Structure 1
């Protein structure tokens, strides 16, 4: 049983600019809600833990003042950031469960209680905080959890993690370096002028994904339940996957496939086999690309906002993914990644935000719940996210680094998240969210297919 002990509204410790920030098209089309993440710490929860975290949060909000603001809706149906310093919500909780009761902390219904619960229907969106934090003490004092729920409209994962790490550093009593400040809060760098010739590309990533053969929509697949498990690959296993992917390169003279390309190809292959797809079944892999360094000129290093764009692999068939060398799937992943150039991004920006999205935003503000127009990336397709480059284990609030970081909910569609393990030994954790009916076979194939390499 979990009990909320106290709730605090934390505002910036100093006066901050009162302004409205325009949001880019990429801020408008993300999931209209908060993304719950969870950090687990094996450390004593002292009596002053809450006080220290609230005090440092108040200080860091001076620099990250948009986080203390609210979303607002313009007459055109676009969202803006109202920097009004109304503050964020900090919850203090305690649970009757011990750390061991939560197992390996893989996303599940029980894990959801460790992150703030947000109701989008009873409170006007314009009054809803953009950040909720929940500090939960485990029974017996053996550790605690920090659950954060960050508005996706406010920022992507990288920007949010950088904020959390800066907050942790201030809590430790250290001074932030200039590069740790959100030096670029202005979103207009991702608001491009419209061109008469745009969009200049076909943009398959914005189109519906392939359906299962014999079906006319994805309604049946959406109803199927998913669950999540954590699967670990040691550093040696990762290197073996890379070696196998590079044994038979598709394109002569191409550079070696990366860790991400090899692991992603392996997941895609196992998913196709576990679903027992027809060989002629079209299948795509979808993932996001960080565009901070792909734009010309590049975005500032500490750009605070959403700077991710979607991409999909070229059309292929399940039979090819399952039977051809691992390098075949890895090459498809590479082609999807390399497609995202400066010109491609600027072209995509012309097509990414349509009237349907604006109508969805209006419905969200009218209290009709959290909605999204994103295409369903489940069976026969899959979405994969890499967090291997995110500094998630730098969130040391003075009690040591977290022993676990991950999502605080189970995705309703097939999705894999790839993270480095907290041990820092080069091993990797795959948090796979998959249809329950196929999960057992996927787990078996994940290691069985690897051993065959």
Structure 2
């Protein structure tokens, strides 16, 4: 597929009307403990103080005729919050910057809505950016902060065809992607009539709390605090786009690697290719450092492993670092090797070192200068969340970026308009750089296509 053509021939944006009821707070359906719980030092870092949106599209299901997804999901939330009761609370901040949650049963924000549109009108390939997205997951004024606001915002929008859209926004300081997936599967279980959750939620934030005394034992270039004298204002002409990589594109890229990198994963290969091409498109000074930070789940790195039902942040951002010149002039194998090495250095000690780094360095933001962050959600399981209407047609991250930082790419499993399975790379760049990015990717793929 020519990526440049998908940019040039984007369909006119679909316009429809969404009628929303007043937002309400959904509290646990039974009394839960009132207490203060301390978050971890991984949770409390500046880079996780952001709201992250998820969106799920569901088609009509004849066996659910007469049943209301709004009521079913609202009731499931109230049941799930009995077990995930800290999510019904509000975050507070200590003077030292550490976060805690006031478990007060205030509840999560819920919006009931109806839209005068059918799923078919969205087209054959559901992919971000979605038309009228702000109407499908409404940022209720005053709710978008991190401190003292609802930790979840959920909107269920009925469609004319009998399907519906489930939108969820989560406070990343409180819960990570693995945690939100387990919460969504808990909602699914209660939607089907379960009396108990499929997982026992685990708090245990002390597992990711700094040691006493803290000792930083690993280098953490992902938190280097840099400035760029060449950038005086942030770009305002940012454009979101999803690029679909099927088996053909992945095979072509894999054929460019030496035998020594035959164990490289699809995620590592796509990430390296995107990093190389976006760096060319952004035309950085060849001598300047560039970074690709790969969000890495740390649960399996512990001994014993931390279960997936731990819903705090158990992630780190190992960084591959090189100069723009070396990256753009080298073969694809060069960045694949750097990314592979960065990810493979993550172990339990590395994660403890990050927590210690946070408390000794004022909980800094990750490096934003000439940086890109990427998260692989291809095996996260968002599409498998079933509220009774079957699996989602599209499920997962609603858009690229995190908070005010636009350069966060997401890999999302999806189908193209032909029904072929593949990976969407959600990205956001200035408009002209996005065009150049697509062109560079096309040139590489077309000149190396394998039959």
In structure 1, the residue corresponding to 2:48 is in which secondary structure? coil
Offset at residue 108 of structure 1 (A): 5.8
Residue 204 in structure 1 maps to residue 221 in structure 2: yes
Which residue of 2 is the match for residue 18 of structure 1?
A: 34
Residue 130 in structure 1 maps to residue 151 in structure 2: yes
Q: Distance in 2 between matches of 1:155 and 1:57?
A: 16
Q: Distance in 2 between matches of 1:46 and 1:147?
A: 22
Offset at residue 306 of structure 1 (A): 0.5
Q: Distance in 1 between matches of 2:255 and 2:429?
A: 27
Offset at residue 344 of structure 1 (A): 2.0
Offset at residue 292 of structure 1 (A): 0.8
Residue 7 in structure 1 maps to residue 23 in structure 2: yes
Number of aligned residue pairs: 421
Kindly report which structure 2 residues correspond to 1:286-365, keeping only aligned pairs within 5 A, or say none: 286-314=293-321, 316-353=322-359, 356-357=362-363
Q: Distance in 2 between matches of 1:303 and 1:177?
A: 14
Residue 57 in structure 1 maps to residue 77 in structure 2: yes
Gaps of 5+ in 1: 358-371
Q: Distance in 1 between matches of 2:102 and 2:445?
A: 50
TM-score (norm 1): 0.84
Conserved in 2, the CA contact under 8 Å of 1:287 and 1:384? yes
Residue 155 in structure 1 maps to residue 175 in structure 2: yes
In structure 2, the residue corresponding to 1:116 is in which secondary structure? coil
In structure 1, the residue corresponding to 2:368 is in which secondary structure? coil
Conserved in 2, the CA contact under 8 Å of 1:17 and 1:83? yes
Farther off after superposition, 161-170 or 421-430: 421-430
Kindly report which structure 2 residues correspond to 1:338-417, keeping only aligned pairs within 5 A, or say none: 338-353=344-359, 356-357=362-363, 373-376=365-368, 380-409=370-399, 411=401, 412-417=405-410
Deviations 1:74-110 (A, max 9, x none): 3544221122222112110123444466564413673
Deviations 1:199-218 (A, max 9, x none): 12332111035x6xxx5264
TM-aligned CA distance change 1:41 to 1:108, over 3 Å: closer
Offset at residue 167 of structure 1 (A): 0.6
The partner residue of 1:43 within 60, 63, 87 is 60
Residue 74 in structure 1 maps to residue 81 in structure 2: no
Q: Distance in 2 between matches of 1:18 and 1:350?
A: 29
Offset at residue 265 of structure 1 (A): 0.9
TM-aligned CA distance change 1:105 to 1:328, over 3 Å: closer
In structure 1, the residue corresponding to 2:207 is in which secondary structure? helix
TM-aligned CA distance change 1:24 to 1:395, over 3 Å: same
In structure 1, the residue corresponding to 2:339 is in which secondary structure? helix
Kindly report which structure 2 residues correspond to 1:193-272, keeping only aligned pairs within 5 A, or say none: 193-195=211-213, 198-208=215-225, 215-216=228-229, 218-220=231-233, 222-245=234-257, 247=258, 249=260, 256-272=263-279
Gaps of 5+ in 2: 1-16
Runs of 4+ in 1 over 6 A off after TM superposition: 121-124
Q: Distance in 2 between matches of 1:99 and 1:152?
A: 29
In structure 2, the residue corresponding to 1:43 is in which secondary structure? coil
Q: Distance in 2 between matches of 1:218 and 1:394?
A: 43
Offset at residue 431 of structure 1 (A): 1.1
TM-score (norm 2): 0.84
In structure 1, the residue corresponding to 2:409 is in which secondary structure? strand
Residue 181 in structure 1 maps to residue 200 in structure 2: yes
For the aligned residue pairs, the C-alpha RMSD in angstroms reads: 2.8
The partner residue of 2:135 within 102, 113, 117 is 113
Farther off after superposition, 109-118 or 154-163: 109-118
In structure 2, the residue corresponding to 1:313 is in which secondary structure? strand
TM-aligned CA distance change 1:219 to 1:24, over 3 Å: farther
Q: Distance in 1 between matches of 2:144 and 2:379?
A: 37
Which residue of 2 is the match for residue 366 of structure 1?
A: none
The partner residue of 1:444 within 434, 439, 447 is 439
TM-aligned CA distance change 1:354 to 1:102, over 3 Å: farther
Conserved in 2, the CA contact under 8 Å of 1:108 and 1:227? no
In structure 1, the residue corresponding to 2:29 is in which secondary structure? coil
The partner residue of 1:88 within 83, 101, 108 is 108
Q: Distance in 1 between matches of 2:310 and 2:138?
A: 26
Which residue of 2 is the match for residue 191 of structure 1?
A: 209
Conserved in 2, the CA contact under 8 Å of 1:10 and 1:54? yes
